[in-house]
Amino acid sequence: MKLPDDFITKYQRLLGAEAPAFLAALTEPANTAGYRVNPERQVPAKLTSAPTVPYAPWGYFGTVKGRSLVHQSGTVYSQEPSAMFVGATAAPARGERVLDLCAAPGGKTTHLASYLQGTGLLVTNEINRKRVRVLAENVERFGVANALILNDSPDTLSPVFPDFFDKVLVDAPCSGEGMFRKDPGAMDYWSLDYVDECAARQREILTEAVKMVKPGGQLIYSTCTFAPEEDEQMMAWLVKTFPDFQLVPVEKTGGVIDAKPEWADGNPDLKNAARLFPNRLQGEGHFVAKLQRATTAEGVQPHGQAHLGTALTGEQRRLWADFSRTVLGDAAPTGDLVTIKDQLFAVPANLPALKHAHVFRPGLHLGTFKKNRFEPAYALALASDPQRVTQTLAIDQDQWIAWVHGEALSLTTAPAKGWYLLTCDHQPVGFGKVVGQTVKNFFPKGLRFTVYPDDLD
């Protein structure tokens, strides 16, 4: 792999004696695959026997096959190990209100969700319409029940959520230098001018992001680039421009080092931020900073109610109540119930007015009302705890292979007719309807796939 000449010259100047090791690491093949396990699942021991990522709860080095049971059921999420450091730095507490502003494809959102454990509020946003669909699929697969998914620009969201969030994560679009060896195509559009363009865009994003952090709250900023213009210099600009924000220490371990004040204005507080270099750890390049907003800052809380969807009719309430009581029991999700056309959602409570926001998904999709019946959603299945659901039906691996391919299942001994949460190896895989000796298949047609022998562990 041939690195751009301007890139080599720049980092030889910045890194000095460390430059040869740094540049050599970037020309080596990427071998830093990783995954996180879902703490809301019964995780198989084989997944937790791999080497752990030292700075990331639930993180492991290794690969997981995309057509495997643990992937389909949301038991794991494949994520580059250095990227896990971002969520671990944010580490929201249970009950907090959290915004992931630039969220696709969803790795950091699902990591934040693991900390929240179904409590509080997780607003996850992506400006790109195609990428927000991928984000929504990953949020659904990971079984996240407390997420509001938006498709907006930061300047649209800041008036909606003024001084609102305990934590705001900005994983900023950047020049991608840290991903060169993992994605060599990133070098095709890299240039010194492109770094400056990215920095200008980051300042625009951060100008809006700071408005959404409540007094006493935190802003977490990250990039996957080495460029000081997008890292230390960006943080130096931020604390000068917004003096009620101060850099606070990021815990560093496993080869993570201090950021470099000398690459910016010399502000010693810049050492509080973190750099991840591929020649120092088993991971790609990242920069992460945490900033605290002063508690003395004056906040203006948003007002109004979300007004998402419409209230349920009496018939719809009856159908949902019957399904919830019979199938879910005390595992029924919490939240405000609303319908959008014939779709039922559980919307997180205490949202501000959202009429100026583009809501891609208002909450957990519970299902669809059809004539005289209710049909549960795939998202509800993956957000359900099999240990708490009243009606579950265990299937074996061969049946799971048939299920994700879209086939009905034949049973030798069938339970009473009705809806069941299907499980395989204790993982939720979808809802099926038992009729006689058959389980009707409701696995989403757009997600069906064929499992080949090489896909099995």
User: Residues within the annotated binding site for S-adenosyl-L-methionine?
Assistant: 102-108, 126, 171
Residue for token pair 């999700």: 333
Q: Are 424 and 69 in contact (CB under 8 A)?
A: yes
Q: What is the helix, strand, coil percentage profile of the chain, to 5?
A: 35, 25, 45
Residue for token pair 């896990």: 84
CA 239-278-70 angle, to 5 degrees, is 100
Q: 214 — phi, psi (to 5°)? A: -75, 155
Q: Are 224 and 284 in contact (CB under 8 A)?
A: yes
- Token pair, residue 338, equals 């609303």
Q: 171 — phi, psi (to 5°)? A: -90, 90
What is the Cα Rg of the chain in Å?
Answer: 23
Instruction: Look up 198 and say whether it is catalytic.
Output: no
The CA distance from 212 to 245, in Å, is 13
Binding residues: 102-108, 126, 171
- Whether omega for the bond prior to residue 105 falls within 30 degrees of 0, making it cis, is yes
Catalytic residue, candidates 174, 198, 224, 424: 224
Helix residue ranges per DSSP H, 281-435:
314-323, 378-382, 397-404
The CA distance from 102 to 153, in Å, is 9
The CA distance from 430 to 72, in Å, is 10
Residue for token pair 């990242």: 286
- Token pair, residue 404, equals 């994700």
The CA distance from 338 to 3, in Å, is 53
Identify how many contiguous H helices and E strands the chain contains and give both numbers: 13, 22
User: Which residues are tagged catalytic?
Assistant: 224
